[in-house]
Amino acid sequence: MDHIPPSDIVVIGAGPAGLCAAEILAQAGHPVTVYDRMPSVGRKFLIAGRGGLNLTHSESLPDFLARYQPAAEGLGTAIEAFPPDALRAWCHGLGQPTFVGSSGRVFPESFKASPLLRAWLARLDGLGVRIRTRHRFVGWSEGGIAFETPDGPVTCPPGPTLLALGGASWPRLGSDGAWVPLFENVGIAVAPLRPANVGFTVAWSEHFRGRFAGEPLKRIALSSDGTSVRGEALVTVDGIEGGAVYAVSRKIREAVAARGETVIHLDLRPDLTRDALARRLSDPKPGQSRSTTLRKAAGLSPVATGLLHEASGRVLPEAAGDLAGLIKAVPLRLGAPRPIDRAISTAGGVAFADLDECFMLRAKPGTFVAGEMLDWEAPTGGYLLQGAFATGRAAARGLIAWLEEGAVTAGS
CB atoms within 10 A of CB 331: 11
pTM for the model: 0.91
- What string of DSSP letters covers 256-270? HHHHS-EEEEEES-T
Q: What is the mean pLDDT of residues 27-31?
A: 97
Q: What is the C-alpha separation between 183 and 397, in angstroms, rounded?
A: 23
pLDDT at position 2 is 43
| CATH no. for 2-195+345-411 | 3.50.50.60
Query: Which run of H or E residues covers position 152?
Result: strand 152-156
- Nearest CA to 330 out of 412, 173, 208, 180 is that of 208
Question: What does residue 102 show for φ and ψ, rounded to 5 degrees?
Answer: -65, -25
Q: Check whether 389 has a pLDDT greater than 50.
A: yes
- Nearest CA to 54 out of 383, 300, 352 is that of 383
Reduced to 3 states (helix: H, G, I; strand: E, B; else coil), residue 213 is: coil
pLDDT digits (tens, 9 = 90+) for 231-275: 999 999 999 999 999 999 999 999 999 999 999 999 999 999 999
Q: What is the C-alpha separation between 365 and 390, in angstroms, rounded?
A: 21
User: Are 381 and 105 within 8 A, CB to CB?
Assistant: yes
The CATH 3.50.50.60 domain(s) of the chain lie at: 2-195+345-411
Q: Which of 40-49, 145-154, 353-362 has the lowest mean pLDDT?
A: 40-49
Q: What is the C-alpha separation between 258 and 206, in angstroms, rounded?
A: 28
pLDDT at position 5 is 42
pLDDT at position 65 is 96
Q: What is the C-alpha separation between 314 and 297, in angstroms, rounded?
A: 20
